[in-house]
Structure 1
Amino acid sequence: MQFHTEFSPEALPYRIGLKSQIVTIGSCFAEVMGQRLANNKLTILNNPFGTIFNPVSIAKLLAMALYGNTPDENRYVERDGVWFHYDFHSSLWATSQDELRTKLVASLVQTSEAIRKADFLLLTLGSAIVYRHIETGKVVANCHKMPGALFEKYLYQIDHLRDDLTRLLKTLHKANPKLKVLLTVSPVRHTRDTLPLNNVSKSILRVIAHELTVWNDWIAYFPAYELMMDDLRDYRFYEADLIHPNPQAHDYIFGKFAESAFDPELRDFVAKWSQISKSLAHQPLYGDNNLNYQQFLLKLVAELETLSKRINVSTELAEVQGRLEKCIMHHAE
């Protein structure tokens, strides 16, 4: 007897390998998945513009990066001595406009370079509901806690979103013909928009994602949204706010992603790295000067040296060798 609908996504047409270069852009879910990829030693640029929910701002920022444009000078805003920009997330801030401009330009250049070299772009769409700055008439990526009266909130029209994303994907493909795009719809529900409107918003994003995969063989969809809504249909998989998936849900969805998107070599590496990560976190119960711990560290060094032929583990290897030297010195005293 089954008590839930277990869902195993189909294998994606293009597989991520150990040497693949990846960029993630979009909502907080993109950042969570990106961090897990980074934790498994993949080469990744993770959400360089901060959390961006709506496709309008995502398309604008990526086009700005690829065309070498600079941030709009009329979009800077100061609040309580801190400077922000309406096209970027509030995690990108500075104490002066000039300092922020330098930081934003660097982020755009870094993103452009990474996109042109990348094998995969993981693009996560969060919401079709946008905030328009009334004075300028332009959609913002983040309101930066400015007064609500400055903005108009509305559901972006599906045809306009489709056009924005279609133009963006053509620009991406022209900049990097080998790039493969993995689309996802964020499973985070925007309950402040009301549940009915949130469902409309997610439906629009899901329809557009489906159409883009039908029209382009270099674009695929990973069903993170469906895994959360239909497979993990229980509030025990949510944080206390009952909106965001908790670490257990992220682990489950990432596991499904690995099955669907990773090639055999990478899946094998991830399994081995999981065990090594546990060993790296291990602390001796009875101090670091006993022979058993020394043997444990020697074994761990050997495992890391073997892996170093496949992936860069220089930081971890140096850290363990330092622990081993300390252990040997204590034992010699």
Structure 2
Amino acid sequence: MIALSTPVSLPPSPPRLSYGQAVMSLGSCFSQSIATRLRAGALDVLVNPFGIQYNPLSIAAALERILEERPFETDELVETSGGYASLLHHGSFTRRRREDALELMNSSLERAAAQLQRLDFLLLTWGTSYVYRWGETGRVVSNCHKLPERLFHRQRVGLDELAACWLPLLERLFTLRPELQIITTVSPVRHLRDGAVGNARSKATLLLLSELLAERYPEQLHYFPSYELMMDELRDYRYYAEDMTHPSELAERLIAERLTQWWLSPEAQRGIAEAERLLSELRHRPLSSEPEAHRERLERLEAKLAAFYRKYPSALDLAALV
């Protein structure tokens, strides 16, 4: 039989994730997609508490802020065309009123700090090693919020600078949570602003960072090859979205399936499949002409939910995810 792709061998699995364990996901839009799927399976996953972040230095800054539990203040906001924003947050945190923006940012910070205190797994997805630095301070930002480009300085960060940031940060995390397990992966989304060569060099830096950290903490830091799966097993433009840079929904699902098989316990894998079916039923909207049929369907659904929670008592409330 002719092979139509290059199989990617997965590394040894990390300790398996089960219901009742706490997860936090930080990183790119690919991280958001994967973590949202895990959360839809009723696993205890906190997804991107600062919104989508692309580079390792911004992700590190978010983790440091969570460790400090230091609330955001008014002088940390910038005014944009959409309202008040934070340079450490995604645009989804922008609000017309300062007070609303700060309330949203600080409530998310509080949830993240609480999750960190009991965290079992941290999922980190690196997107690019290119960063934007705010001209006034030189600090790396997570999002430019469409402010004038002259206010920022863009550069590709090298491995030495990334390692100097992440090695002491990992020490702090392992001091707080000695049994913490960390999964790193490189986003398969291509960043082609700097061309194919620039993207390749950027991704190579991220791959080397993951390797360096895993070599330093081989028992607690594990690499999952999302980027490699996309580049080799799914090397076909039918697996890309229309922009030809992002994976299609099918590709994301295929990579997510490999990740769950590699990472999740057999119990959690079965639970996710059941939870997805139940969530689909919960989201069903009945026809107004079928009230009796809808009542009977709800009774059957309540029985299914009760059976699900008997099997997985630590699962999240699926109704809250609708």
Relative to the length of structure 1, the TM-score reads 0.87
Aligned to 2:262: 260
Structure having greater relative contact order (Cα 8 Å, sep ≥ 6):
2
Could you tell me how far apart the structure 1 residues matched to 2:174 and 2:126 are? Answer: 19
Provide the residue aligned with 1:167 in structure 2.
168
> Quick one: distance in 2 between partners of 1:109 and 1:40?
24
Q: Is the 8 A contact 1:82 1:93 kept in 2?
A: yes
Provide the aligned C-alpha RMSD in A.
2.5
Which residue number corresponds to residue 224 of structure 1? 226
- Alignment check: 8 A CA contact 1:6 1:231 kept: yes
Contact 1:8 1:256 in 2 (8 A): no
**Range 247-256 or range 63-72, more displaced:** 63-72
Change (3 A) 1:95 1:263: same
For structure 2, the 5+ residue unaligned runs are none
Any idea what the Cα deviations from partners look like across 1:70-120, whole Å, max 9, x if unmatched?
Answer: 447654210236011112221111223344333323322221111111111
Deviation at 1:276, TM superposition (A): 3.5
Q: Aligned with 2:207: secondary structure?
A: helix
- The separation in 1 between residues aligned to 2:316 and 2:147, in whole angstroms, is 44
The one-letter code matched in structure 1 to 2:138 is G
Secondary structure in structure 1 of the residue aligned to 2:171: helix
Distance of 2:77 and 2:274 partners within structure 1: 46
Structure 1 residues 201-212: aligned runs within 5 Å: 201-212=202-213
Matched residue, 1:97: 98
Q: Quote the Cα distance in structure 2 between the aligned partners of 1:166 and 1:41.
A: 32
1:228-256 per-position Cα deviation (integer Å, ceiling 9, x unaligned): 11111111111111111111011101110
Q: Are the structure 2 counterparts of residues 259 and 70 from structure 1 closer, same or farther at C-alpha, using a change threshold of 3 Å?
A: same
Structure 2 partner of 1:23: 24
Q: Is 2:40 aligned against 1:36?
A: no
Q: Is 1:75–1:87's contact at 8 Å kept on the other side of the alignment?
A: no
Q: Equivalent residues in 2 for 1:1-333 (5 A)?
A: 1-71=2-72, 75-80=76-81, 82-216=83-217, 217-280=219-282, 288=290, 298-309=299-310, 310-311=312-313, 312=315, 316=319
Mapped partners of 2:257, 2:183: distance in 1: 16
**Percent identity of equivalent pairs:** 33
> What TM-score, normalized to structure 2?
0.90
Change (3 A) 1:92 1:282: closer
Unaligned runs of 5+ in 1: 320-333
Contact 2:40 2:276 (8 Å CA) reproduced: no
Q: Secondary structure at the match of 2:193?
A: helix
Q: Relative to 1, partners in 2 of residues 1:71 and 1:290: Cα closer, same or farther, differing over 3 Å?
A: closer
Quick one: structure 1 residues 81 and 257, their matched pair in 2 at CA, closer, same or farther if it must change by over 3 Å? Answer: closer
The number of equivalent residue pairs is 317
Contact 2:38-2:272 at 8 Å conserved across structures = no
The offset of 1:267, in angstroms, is: 1.4
Larger radius of gyration: 1
